[in-house]
Every structure is written in C-alpha cells, then in structure tokens.
Amino acid sequence: MAMMTGEQYEASLRKLNLQVYQFGKKVENVVDDPIIRPSMNAVKLTYELAHQPEYEDLMTATSHISGKKINRFTHIHQSTDDLVKKTKMGRLLGSLTGCCFQRCVGMDAMNALSIVTYDIDQKLGTEYNKRFLKYLAYVQENDLTCDGAMTDPKGDRSLPPHKQPDPDMFLHVVEEKEDGIVVRGAKAHQTGAVNSHEIIVMPTISMREGDADYAVSFALPADADGITYIMGRQSCDTRKLEAGTIDRGNQLFGGHEALVVFDNVFVPWERVFMYKEFEFAGQLVENFASYHRQSYACKAGVGDVLIGAAQTIAEYNGAARASHVKDKIIEMNHLNETLFCGSVACACEGGKQPSGTYLVSTLLANVCKQNVTRFPYEISRLAQDIAGGLMVTLPSEDDFKSPEVGEWLTKYYKTCEGISTENRNRILRLIENITLGTAAVGYLTESMHGAGSPQAQRIMISRQVNMAQKQKVAKQLCGIKEED
C-alpha cells in the first residue's frame, strides 16, 4: 500500500471498533464527534502534507527496510540529517495547526524500540528486534498512526510497581500463555489515542528484578478486545458543541488525551518486544524520553502562531508602534527561537547506535525540554499582556448576533478604522485558545509535563554533564594540582 492520503486516513479510522467514553457516555461515532474531530483533523494534515511537493523533503523519508518512500512519522532515523528534518517537521506542523498533531509519540516509541530490542538481543540472544522490524514493516507498508503509551497511573509514587497495594497501578502481565501474554493496567495522558491505528506500550520507569512482570513492551491494534478509552476534559472543550465558530478560537484543529484501560488484554508473542528484561526498562525509558524531548520543537511552531496573533491584536488595537509592545514581541521571538535551537542542537549532536539507528544527544535533548517547561509560559504571558483583558471578558458570539444587544457590542468593541470587530474577536479567541483554552493543554501543560516532568530533565542533565572534566580544566587553569 502506498502512503495514505488524508481522506484515506479518515476512512481507515471509520473501520476501527474503538470503545470510547466521554462525559459518561459511549461515543458511537468517534471520527465525527464534534469535540474529538478537530484532533483528528490535525493528524489528517500529517498525511495530506506528505503528498504536497513543497513539503515532501520534510514529511517523507526512504524506508531502510523496503527502500520505499514512507511518511516520516513511520521512519527510523538513519542519520543526523533525519533527526534535523524531524525537528523541522515538528515546527512546520505546529505552525500550521496551532496545536498538538499527535504522531510524534508513536514515532519516538518506534525509534527507541529499534535501539533497545537490538541491544537486548545482543546481550541475551532473544529475537525481539526481528519481531520489531517485522512489525515496523507492517506499520510502514500501511502508513499507520501509532500511539506511544508509556505513562502509568503510578498509584503511590513512593513505592515500586510490585509493592503497590493495587498491582494494576502499573501495567503488567497477569498471565503467560503458549501463544502470548495477558496484560492488565492503564496508560494515562494518551495524546491522540483515539486517532491511532496502533498502541505501542512501554514501561514507564526503570525497574528492578521484583518488577519483572511490569517490564513489558508490546504493540496492539487500537481496537483490540479489552481496550477502553476514557476521554479527558479540556478547558473550553464544549465550545466545540456550539453553533458558532468564533468562540472556538482555532477553527480547524485541536488535540485530545485519554486514559487507556487494558482489561485482561491478550498480546500474541509476535507483538511482544520486551518481557521481564527489567534491566533494559530504564534504557527504553531514557531513549524514548530523549527522542520525545527533542520532539518539542512543535512548541516553537505553535509559538509562531501565538506570536503572529499577538502582533495582529497589537495592530488591531492600535498599539503596535508602542516601544514596549515591540520589545515584548522581540522577546517572544527570542524565546521561541531558543526553543527551536535546542531541538536542532540535540539532533545535530546525535550519533549512531549499534542497531544503526541514530539517537539524539541525550544531554541537549533534556536541555531543550527544560527550556520548553518555561518559555511557552512566558510567551503566553506576553501574548496575554499585549492582547489585554478583553481576551477573557469578551461576550459570546451569540451576544454579538443578538438583535437586542449585538449593535452595542459591535459599537463599543470597535477599535481602529478599517478593523472589523468580528476579526478582532477572532484573533482574541485564538490567543485565548492557545494560552487558556483547549490548545493550552498542548502548548502549556504538555510543555510542563509531557515527556517527563521538569525534575526528570534536571536529573538527566546532572547525569549527562561531564562535571569531572569541567573541574579538571578549572583546576589546571588556576594551578591546582590533584595531589594537593
């Protein structure tokens, strides 16, 4: 099968029999649900752009398995150039959707597994990598979207998986059969889960021998028996149910997260990529996290949209020439480009692993993500500063259409000559959407906690920095001798 078009992708989702719940009720038509649909549109764009010549270099790659042209989201990185193109692809899509486009996590999971399954096989004589490559070929041939599922509910964070009062707080194997395993548990915060064809499960933390049943990685069809999706709430999400469009902010795109429950789900052996190799769980987590922390170049893309919106509202308000507004726009651009620099740097400094897959610089990937936990918040603060209080006190679209009060609103919310009140409302709602509404999940909260909390990156930075070398040079330059 050739790369899917956007329409083919949408049609493929309609064939899935997903068990999805939202607001306490089962969702019968996931693709057309008004709250879920914008997130599907964002994934759909990743398929559409791959067929447009101007984006071909970033959106497609050559499979190292088949030699065929594939969507880059199914590709295993074969060079630092691939890593850089991944960064640029993320920014491009963020700048075109203004939200999370959801496919990075699956791509990062596959690349991490391509490394770790090889390393397990080399040490233990297993055949995980062979299984994985067969699975990868299937994903590439069918141009599938994969959800990478790592985060467990975790229960009592002070206890390891095997000591939890409820063993299901970490997904684990509950039965081993001749033809596969049975797993139970859940994965939380799953971005784009119901827009995916496949779920790739990984352990969420480093593990010890007592946690062997929890050291499991596998892939399943998204609609496998026993898998249930419970959609998470987002701020302002029910605005998508309203007849108007202005109050939505982003007219086309959005994101979603879900709790994915695995209730005694069977996994055939050919789809198991790790089972009880607890000593490799930490490596898989760290490799995945490094890739995914690089992926936050997408926030620079969303930042592009927010900066453009801030400049626009400044012009609409007649404030664009004020020196303090100009300075704030400059600072927003400075912070946004710094985010992008970190992602490019960790890509350029990446290296080839024994499996042949290229991994980003772990140190610089964590520096990149540490910046992401901070800068989007400051960019958002500045955007809100420039927008003014009307961003959160603006009456509804229905009020503007009201025969009783609509004329007053249009009159009193008008600014510069030639600027329509409606257009001003639209850009204000977009700023609200990105900094406070549904898109704020992807731009702010995800920036803080996605791919690990800020402290997780600080721990990795402390491990990766060569402090002994820094001290050695400092001592040499000032004449300190080690024997002193």
Active site residues: 100, 104, 191, 257, 292, 296, 298, 446
> Distance between CA atoms of 484 and 370, rounded to whole angstroms?
37
Cα separation, 348 vs 297, in Å, equals: 14
**Residue linked to tokens 């999400």:** 237
- What contacts 399, CB < 8 A, 6 or more positions away? 405, 406, 409
Cα 159 to Cα 183, 248, 283, 453: the distances in Å are 21, 42, 20, 18
The structure tokens listed for 316 are: 């609409």
Say whether 261 sits in a helix, a strand or coil: strand
Q: Which two tokens stand for residue 142?
A: 């069918």
Q: How far apart are the first and last CA of the chain?
A: 69
Instruction: Quote the CA–CA distance of 317 and 326 in Å, as a whole number.
Output: 14
CB atoms within 10 A of CB 180: 18
What distances in angstroms separate CA 196 from CA 17, 187, 239, 245, one per listed residue?
12, 15, 24, 27
Annotated binding site for FAD: which residue ranges? 191
Known binding-site residues equal 191
Asked if 170 and 210 touch (Cβ cutoff 8 Å), the reply is no
Neighbours of 453 (CB within 10 A): 12
Count other Cβ atoms within 10 Å, centred on residue 87: 26
By the 10 Å C-beta count (0-12 exposed, 13-18 middle, 19+ buried), 403 is classed as exposed
Residues 249, 434 contacting (CB under 8 angstroms)? yes
Q: Give φ, ψ of 429 to 5 degrees.
A: -65, -30
Instruction: From residue 107, give the alpha-carbon distance in Å to each of 60, 126, 144, 146.
Output: 13, 24, 10, 7
Query: What number of H helices and E strands is found in the chain?
Result: 19, 14
> How many angstroms separate the most distant Cα atoms in the chain?
87
Handedness of CA 11, 63, 88, 461 (dihedral sign): positive
Is residue 212 left, alpha or beta, with left meaning phi > 0 and alpha meaning psi from -120 to 50?
Answer: alpha
